[in-house]
Structure 1
Amino acid sequence: MRIALVGIGKIALDQHVPALADSPDWDLAATVSRSGSVPGVDAFTDIDAMLKAHPDVGTVSLCLPPVPRFDAAVQVLRAGRHLMLEKPPGATLSEVHVLADLARAQGVTIFASWHSRMAHGVAAAKAWLAGKTVHKGRIIWREDIRKWHPGQDWILAAGGMGVFDPGINALSILTEILPAPVHLRTAELDVPANRQAPIAARLNLSQDITADLDFRQEGPQTWDIELQTDAGHLALRMGGNLLEVDGTRVDGQDSIMGEYPALYARMAGLVRDGASDLDLAPMVLVADAFTLGQRTTVDPFDF
């Protein structure tokens, strides 16, 4: 199947392009970007021009930042093409509901792709937790914004989500593996004096689960989820790629490179089945954090 990739930035070049190059399901036929491109692939700077030039492209994958994504997504769906959305699927919940209704009306697939759910240890963690009771848990998700988003001012602007851009990955795993739904109780958001989005956050969730999210960690990065249950202690490390039970490694790999190939395999299956997957549970928790969050102004931040 032929696919177009819109938004040729860091995440597209690091993850999407290699995943598509190795995929048995997809042929990358076109790209759309203001400045980026992929060697040997037809490049455009306008989505509408690409859609008109490539009626053979049945699917479009959007890797744009959240705020400009909606208008591009509407163009794709109105053209009758299947749509894959990089996380988060939109800047607001309401616009994603609009996209879901439009996809349904057009009879095409829409997929909100939570890449961390495809991490190597997640499925095994979900299976182990099935039928168990979670008594307590903690998420520690700390990484270096300058390493993963160098110079990307949009991520700390209104709509950019700030630390929830990576933090939503942890929440996507949590909402996938827990045997019972989770909801937000309280939140604290640290917002730099010269920015609009939080650079750090602390969440208190039901089931006595806490989350410590920070975009300022230098050196080794930390992406851990630990849950204490009635049958023992489960830990997912390295962003969900390593699973430990009672301190013993039982599943996973020392790599994050399998997530995007798995996403594109999932998208291929949805298109073939005429189905959609638009789970918004992780985004609901983030929206609730912005609604309930107690804001503290912290030191200005500059790249």
Structure 2
Amino acid sequence: MTRTHTPAHSSPGGDDTSRTGLYGGTANRRVTVRDIAAAKRRGEKWPMLTAYDAMTASVFDEAGIPVLLVGDSMGNCHLGYDSTVPVTMEQVLMLSAAVVRGTRRALVVGDLPFGSYQEGSVQALRNATRLMKEAGVGAVKLEGGERSAEQIDLLVRSGIPVMAHVGLTPQSVNAYGGHPVQGRGEEAAQQLLRDAKAVQDAGAFAVVLELVTADLAAEVTRGLHVPTVGIGAGAECDAQVLVWTDMAGMTDWSGGRRPRFVKEYARLREVLAGAARGFAEDVAGGTYPAPEHSFR
């Protein structure tokens, strides 16, 4: 059965996603991969954010963000890990279900975490099926180009929309030895082009390009009939994605350098810390709770 939960919030606007556009439009249905394909044909650029809980997902849904990724970036920014590698299927399932419950329009994409699809197509199908059946996501994402084409092909043939991810693939951080920019040099560029073409040919409806040189990302975008989603891949991609805690200024960069591609649109870490200090000072000073916060 189709998930029909509708949260209490509402948004203004029309009800035809293809007419109103992906960003900012509203609909009586979820954004679908067909809407994503139509946006590519129109030359429309669109935003994607990560989300890991119902409350923030509802905010982004109300803001008109058409695609929300329940990324394995939850490992770094939500679960306290040093990388995405420790993230488990159970964690992705729980958080994906929360994001679905908190939204009504956005296409929710669930990330397949490290170790959930590398064994082969059967393992990938089993775990992707769980994300769709148990969490209610509309699509899944997995990393890898040519090496993941077989998995993508089976998922798509089984009715599971797949967003691919090439360039820097964070689940391979130990193999990379860090986070190097991808596509520099002729050999690396040709491999990335092959990877992007392979996942498109396998049936992926979109391709994330992470930490790819801008010129190469532009070439990939021109060469594919499916949209590219850039993160540190220049301005010519069809869409752009950021980790929401980076975008909103929640990430603490004191322990490392902020990536060049990150733009902070707010300073929520400062706002939240200020609110916490205000509460603490009121409690310590005996001014909270005041009479108006008490019952008689």
**TM value normalised by structure 1:** 0.32
Instruction: Determine which structure has the larger strand proportion and give its number.
Output: 1
**TM value normalised by structure 2:** 0.33
| Structure of higher CA gyration radius | 2
The structure, 1 or 2, with the larger RCO (C-alpha pairs under 8 Å, 6+ apart) is: 1
